[in-house]
Structure 1
Amino acid sequence: MTSVGVRPESGPVTPAPKGASRRYRVVWRWHFYAGLFVAPILVVLAVTGSIYLFKEPFEEWRYQDVRTLAAPVTAARPLAEQIAAAQRTHPGAGVLSVIPPSAPDRTTRVILMGTESGPFAQGISVYVDPGSLRVLGEIDDSATFMRVVRTVHGELLAGKAGDRIVETAACWALILAATGAYMWWRGPARRRAPRRGRPRLRRVHALTGVGAGAVVVFLIISGLPWSGVWGDAFQRLQDTTGSTSPSADAFPHTSTVPALSGDLSAEPDAKVPWAAELLPVPSSGDPGHGAHGPAAGVLQPGAIPVERALSSARPVLRDCRPADCEVKVLLPKDKEGVYTVVAAPRADPSASRTVHVDQYSGQVLVSFGWQEYGLLAKAVEQGIALHEGRRYGVVNLLVMLGACLALLTLVVTGVWMWWKRRPDGRAGAPARTGDRRTTWGVAAIMAVLGVLFPLAGLTMVAVLLLDRLVIRRVPALRRIF
């Protein structure tokens, strides 16, 4: 989609701006083809991104009937009983995690293992009244509206192939930003705005790019760590430099099982009924105990209550304010597992923390958080919070929304300019320069960008081959391009 060397047919192709160099023509041609082919995907990304910015207020409104109680709870039942009430709605389903109420008028969220538990959904959320144990409702997290929006945003509902398409479009959008900035600096758009027509449209396009370009570029770069090819390469760079987020496997996560030949009743913190003293301690993943996976959430004989594990972790989570921080409890997966308490702040990633609590004694085994993050991992986490418009409240959200609207404006004005100038039956690409030195110079710069962004580089090569082997040899295609 470049200065592919096809000699344009005769037609009303707009000449380069007065005084523009040959280099301008080559850059314009790259900019034109890149924008023409990735425009539809950028529209999808901008629209879905704008919607997803409002995920939390939307879901708070949409699911208020199951998340909020009519009256505050004065005496809550034990979390173990609340978990059991949730499990009765799906007999045999494992418990992935429990999110205790953040306020007296909020429900307890018990997340059960569902048919799908991919990266964007954890399963089925069952909401329980902490006082009466009444189940107010359940939500399949894999089928919510915002889940669909995010899947479209990340992979166009096309799995791995869609992820690669989105990543390719994002990489080309960075090239569009670079070529567009050059064209604005060297082109006529910096002159006084004309009153009407395509020059005025071009000025709106250019000034929108200049005004919002930095934020749009940030949106793209902060989203690339989620992508398949570039994201995997970036993760390898983090691993190589040791600049990653902490792995739970790097810390102790095993409870000390009382060495009492199965007689757990002699352990002060592990009282169980007499009839169960000598029974083998089951693993939560054992068949016959209603488990469908390694995290079935079956409490072990002698395990402390969930409340006590949470209470042990609370002093470590002092930076996690209930109004802006979700606390999630993962139950031990077997007799040697631990309670894992995770604090996930909405705004400031530096307040995140993971705590392992011994399931028998309630002792905090380890606590790790922001201090253990590497530099690159910290940058990614802060970038994600900014990308999703939650780092600095409403201001952050409005800036990201403005960037999405600016991207839509760029696409609409760019396509509009093309539509107004295109000759009948032709693509209307900017004229190709015959200066090989200029062409090869710009191509070298594009090759560097292709190495930095591999999928963009692969598509560059594919288009050049398509031009050489197909377009130049088919007269009908030559007339179009």
Structure 2
Amino acid sequence: MTSVEVRPETGPVPPAPNGASQRYRAVWRWHFYAGLFVAPILVVLAVTGSIYLFKEPFEEWRYRDVRTLAAPVTAAQPLSRQIDAARSARPGAPVMTVIPPTAPDRSTRVILAGAESGPWAQGISVYVHPGTLKVLGQIDDSATFMRVVRTVHGELLAGTAGDRIVETAACWALILASTGTYLWWRGPARRRGARPGRPRLRRVHSLTGIGAGTVIVFLIVSGLPWSGVWGDLFQRLQDRTGSTTPSADAFPNTSAVPPLSGDLSTDPDAKVPWSAERLPVPSSTDGHGAHGTTTGVLHPGAVPVERALESARPVLRDCRPTDCDVKVLLPKDRGGVYTVIASPRTDPSASRTVHVDQYSARVLVSFGWQEYGVLAKAVEQGIALHEGRRYGPLNLLVMLTACLAVLTLVVTGTWMWWKRRPQGRLAAPTRPTDRRTAYGVLAIMATLGLLFPLAGITMATVLLLDLLLLRRIPRLRRAFG
């Protein structure tokens, strides 16, 4: 005899055919546990993601006293002198990056090395008045509010372990999305149409998931390339298919020797100090460790920073000043080059990297969007959309709505569980009794587990716990269903 299923929040529901009912229950059980495991992490990701969307306007307001000048500068000092002014504020600190002002009323930002080391380390930003060379202020980029928000968003302030937790939660969120879509599609309420007595919470939960599900899935997928395990595997796929972002190491990154007899004193364009006029011109191979690295002071014979930037400007014609930061990296050694990077805020296709010879100011090579592989282009566009900056305020509003939708799904899902749970029990959906149904659902879950390794590992862990522990201890069996 077929019994009528009763759910506390919905009332009696006529039974579906046995196979469909078993399959529905199996999917519902996975959906329940996925939500139970990742709900707290999703709340953190949604809240921090919502805040980080407003990074640029917030930092423009927060640091307006050092970024915006009281009056436009009509006669700016040479960029090299501005760098010297910044270095005087932190003597001995190596120069990491120089960001010239984008408008007459903006300051110059010189990023000096901080306490951290490495290519991705955050430095100390020293802001300099381009006209008076006054140091307007210093900001530790590793300790700003938005930097902390991003660290929480990416790794929960827990380093590698936090990164793995976030990645696992993101992968399980994809399982939540797929199982939730199935539950909505095969649910009795959708198939029979909305009823006056249908619970409001379930209706809000379902409509929010279906309405914002596509954008939520996009947010998850576009964020995974930043993750540790999945991102590393994706990078390997890019490498094997040759569909990567161009690396500076794949292009010439050493200065070519100017066609001179051995010194720069006869070159009218090479304005070097008198004491350095008779120094020999180093070859492009002299600087790889043999003569040390620069700490912000230009090597003898090197052209000033402003001249290298002037040489690169024509190549950066696609980068609009109002939408693009131009960053200058000084030569790291005697054989190095000036590296000028155009970083657009909205359209990644305008990005470009230019190598300029530090002795002759010739553009040695430039590479940009046309050298990106297909996968690399997709990742760059995905990141711009993910951060809500690709299409202006509309893009930001859509991403913010998706973050709020995630919070709505967590709150309504948790509320529904709290209302229906019996006292002292977890109230998980019961296991399917049809093994064929269970194996079919497991096969689908295993496929998702292979696509997302950390989800697969945690999935196998849950199954082992269920098989070896939860089913064997009566009290746990009653609690977990």
TM-score when normalising by structure 1: 0.92
The aligned residue for residue 4 of structure 1 is none
- Which stretch shows the higher mean deviation, 182-191 or 47-56? 182-191
Partner deviation per Cα, 1:24-77 (whole Å, 9 max, x = no partner) = 010000000110111000000000000000000000000000000101111111
Q: Distance in 1 between matches of 2:251 and 2:274?
A: 35
Q: Distance in 1 between matches of 2:13 and 2:82?
A: 71
Q: Distance in 2 between matches of 1:118 and 1:439?
A: 49
The aligned residue for residue 8 of structure 1 is none
Query: 2:133 aligned with 1:133, yes or no?
Result: yes
- Which stretch shows the higher mean deviation, 326-335 or 369-378? 326-335
Provide the secondary structure at the position in 2 that maps to 1:138: strand
Provide the secondary structure at the position in 1 that maps to 2:353: strand
The aligned residue for residue 274 of structure 2 is 274
Alignment of 1:117-196 (within 5 A): 122-190=122-190, 192-193=193-194
Structure 1: 5+ residue stretches without partners: 1-10
Q: Distance in 2 between matches of 1:377 and 1:276?
A: 45
Alignment of 1:292-441 (within 5 A): 294=293, 296-441=295-440
Q: Distance in 1 between matches of 2:275 and 2:33?
A: 76
> Displacement of 1:432 after TM fit?
1.6
Provide the secondary structure at the position in 2 that maps to 1:21: helix
Q: Which amino acid aligns with 1:126?
A: V
Q: Distance in 2 between matches of 1:309 and 1:425?
A: 71
Q: Which amino acid aligns with 1:152?
A: V
In the alignment, is the contact (CA less than 8 A) between 1:269 and 1:360 conserved in 2?
A: no
Q: Distance in 1 between matches of 2:288 and 2:55?
A: 34
In the alignment, is the contact (CA less than 8 A) between 2:264 and 2:281 conserved in 1?
A: no
Query: 2:102 aligned with 1:102, yes or no?
Result: yes
Q: Distance in 1 between matches of 2:105 and 2:289?
A: 37
Q: Distance in 1 between matches of 2:173 and 2:122?
A: 32
Partner deviation per Cα, 1:227-255 (whole Å, 9 max, x = no partner) = 00000000000000000010101111211
Q: Which amino acid aligns with 2:410?
A: V
Partner deviation per Cα, 1:167-189 (whole Å, 9 max, x = no partner) = 00000000000000001001034
> Displacement of 1:472 after TM fit?
2.5
Cα distance 1:426–1:284, how it changes in 2: closer, same or farther (>3 A)?
Answer: farther
In the alignment, is the contact (CA less than 8 A) between 1:49 and 1:153 conserved in 2?
A: yes
- Which stretch shows the higher mean deviation, 52-61 or 262-271? 262-271
Q: Distance in 2 between matches of 1:18 and 1:475?
A: 28
Q: Distance in 2 between matches of 1:403 and 1:295?
A: 46
The aligned residue for residue 74 of structure 1 is 74
Cα distance 1:472–1:112, how it changes in 2: closer, same or farther (>3 A)?
Answer: same
Partner deviation per Cα, 1:337-396 (whole Å, 9 max, x = no partner) = 111110000000000000111111111110100000000000000000000000000000
In the alignment, is the contact (CA less than 8 A) between 1:80 and 1:305 conserved in 2?
A: yes
Structure 2: 5+ residue stretches without partners: 1-6
User: What percentage of residue pairs aligned between the two structures are identical?
Assistant: 79
> Displacement of 1:308 after TM fit?
1.1
Aligned residues: 466
TM-score when normalising by structure 2: 0.92
In the alignment, is the contact (CA less than 8 A) between 1:32 and 1:429 conserved in 2?
A: yes
> Displacement of 1:333 after TM fit?
1.2
Q: Distance in 2 between matches of 1:65 and 1:49?
A: 26
Select 2:15's aligned residue among 15, 18, 25. 18
Partner deviation per Cα, 1:253-288 (whole Å, 9 max, x = no partner) = 21123476863213333232332234578999989x
Alignment of 1:200-349 (within 5 A): 200-258=200-258, 263-279=263-279, 294=293, 296-349=295-348
In the alignment, is the contact (CA less than 8 A) between 2:344 and 2:351 conserved in 1?
A: yes
Cα distance 1:323–1:196, how it changes in 2: closer, same or farther (>3 A)?
Answer: farther
